Amino acid sequence: MAEEDGRGHYCFGCSKRNPIGLHLAFRVEDGEVRAPFTPQDEHQGWPGFMHGGLVATMLDEAMGWVIMAQGIWAVTGKMNVRYRDPVPLHQPVTVVGRIERDRRRWLLVRAEVRSSEGTVLSEADALFMRVSGDRQRELEELYRGVTLEDVDRSPEADPV
């Protein structure tokens, strides 16, 4: 899959190329991935708070990136989200992902959205299933050259 055919890295969660995406910029720290984010008006669900579906997207994205940071190709099989407190608009949060257990074909992964004070606002656990064969080759081709360092910059840093 070539980027020229429109199917390149255009992820809603992390791609700098997606103009309406979240532009999450993950970095690896102590076996986890972390990305800062400040929800804006366009991310609103109930007045003053981030939409729960977008919170779930952030959690899923963190879990996917922590797996990819380990060189593992896997996709979400099942995800459970717990909303502890609403995520307020215009206040910085951090989404954190980590692998809890590797069970050969399946990985148990966890993510949290934390306030700037460290309070867990939302959390998720998921089973990710490893991909292989043609699907793995397709993902490797699609993400060739895309690394955490590529998404560890603000969208403004890359004019592409």
Residue 150 bears catalytic tag: no
Compute, in degrees rounded to 10, the torsion defined by CA atoms 84, 53, 146, 151.
-60
Quick one: fold of 6-150? Thiol Ester Dehydrase; Chain A (3.10.129)
pLDDT (0 to 100) of residue 148:
55
Sorted by where each begins, the domain ranges of the chain are 6-150
The single residue of 60, 85, 152, 158 carrying the catalytic annotation is: 60
Question: What's the average model confidence in pLDDT over 3-14?
Answer: 61
Q: Quick one: pLDDT band at residue 27, thresholds 50, 70, 90?
A: very high
Q: For residues 138 and 38, which has the higher predicted lDDT (pLDDT)?
A: 38
* Its pTM surpasses 0.85: no
Q: For residues 122 and 2, which has the higher predicted lDDT (pLDDT)?
A: 122
- For residue 137 the two structure tokens come to 């080759």
How many CB atoms are closer than 10 A to CB 100? 10
* Phi, psi dihedrals of residue 139, rounded to the nearest 5°: -65, -40
pLDDT (0 to 100) of residue 147:
56
- Pair type for strands 32-37 and 27-29: antiparallel
Distance CA 30, CA 138 (A): 29
pLDDT (0 to 100) of residue 146:
60
Distance CA 44, CA 51 (A): 5
